[in-house]
A and B are shown apart, each in its own frame.
Chain A
């Protein structure tokens, strides 16, 4: 019988990594994602890369949004990507970065597997649209 009602929803982890206490942006995004109909898991502040990886794997999120305003993205993001790789989750997780990330660092982050970087001034709609279009089909 093919009576299975599918009830799929886009799951996102909004993550704050490292010594960075600025979570207003993360809150705004979490709320906007919720209103867009996504299921949002918020990591809370000051998380280690390991903790983010653990949450992303256990929650089986489609999208991992990392918010960094501390300038430490060059060390933190690779650690997260490595961790995802370790659990076989890097391939089908859409990783986004947001916050203050200088232009010259962007290529390298994208090389490591970050799908998109949303800097200051990005509209919430743009981000939501990107997630809708690019969330992995599993």
Chain B
């Protein structure tokens, strides 16, 4: 891989700690500007030092406020922080209002907290790729802690937040019914639960409901934290109630439940302790290696999917364009399956000839 001189200079500036260069690299990643791939692949050599924390929860749960306090506390401890705040974009115009910055006021004027707002552009898991790449850029820049903040509203967000090592899910009090509906979704990816606005009515009940849910998950062997995080959370210890765990010899991780009042900074230290505990657990149990492997496998798949997708766009255009094909289906002349087969046919033929044709100098 080779980069042009501009990108080379940009990379050097980024590694030298220039904020503008970091900002520009993230833009290139977001824009998928020419050459961004070479840039990102060069970044990899400089990564691996940051803790990546994902924070998600329903709108208004207090994510931005908590992230703000989290960043402030990390800064007080002498660590540098990167924040990637993701907001939805309009499916109609592609436009977006990215408002998370407003609530991140504790750390303004401190350039060592680098806040970047991103919106969902494009398609096909593109945002989770872009987020992962932006994390790489911040990591290479030298940030100690990187926080990804996103609304937990669907599969897309779940994919994004899974680019983090540790995922915290915020649950506001009084969302008992929400908990029921969310059960099969976002609550499954939590490594740490945060009941924010814990000074409000109903907080105790929400904590209790979460406890029941976590416990239920443990009993059935299907862990409260599913996904790629801890597949083997069986026989996990009950440290969520703050009492010393009776047995430390078990293998699993049971998501603790932390109560915070983010706006006053209450409970943030306890939250940070749990994040650190999860980090230790990941490393000690060897799960971190597994997690990172899974993540890279997913990245490779996504990249390939995007590449193939782009190639197929050309094929589609050659076949008369998607609109004409769609119209043909509407007129009842053909069907989507036949079209897919027809469009893919030349590609398959081409691949077959390549495989049988020569000794395979097939890489570019």
Contact = CB atoms under 8 A, between A and B. Distances in A.
Contacts of A9: 30-31, 94, 119, 121
A9 to B, nearest CB: 6
Contacts of A36: 93, 95
A132 interface: no
Nearest 4 pairs of A and B residues by beta carbon: A3-B310, A44-B102, A60-B23, A34-B95
Nearest to B314: A3
B81 to A, nearest CB: 12
A41 B89 CA distance: 12
A87 B109 CA distance: 14
B199 to A, nearest CB: 24
A33 B94 CA distance: 11
A37 interface: yes
A3 B364 CA distance: 13
Interface of B: 19-20, 23-24, 26-27, 30-34, 36-37, 89-90, 93-99, 101-102, 105, 108-109, 111, 114-117, 119, 121-122, 126, 306-307, 310-311, 364
Which has the most chain B C-beta neighbours within 10 Å: A37, A51, A54?
A54
B89 A39 contact: yes
Contacts of A51: 108-109
B109 A8 contact: no
A6 B116 contact: no
A41 B20 contact: no
A42 interface: yes
9 contacts: A1-B364, A6-B32, A7-B126, A30-B97, A39-B98, A44-B105, A55-B115, A58-B114, A60-B26
A135 interface: no
Interface string A1-21: 101111111010000000000
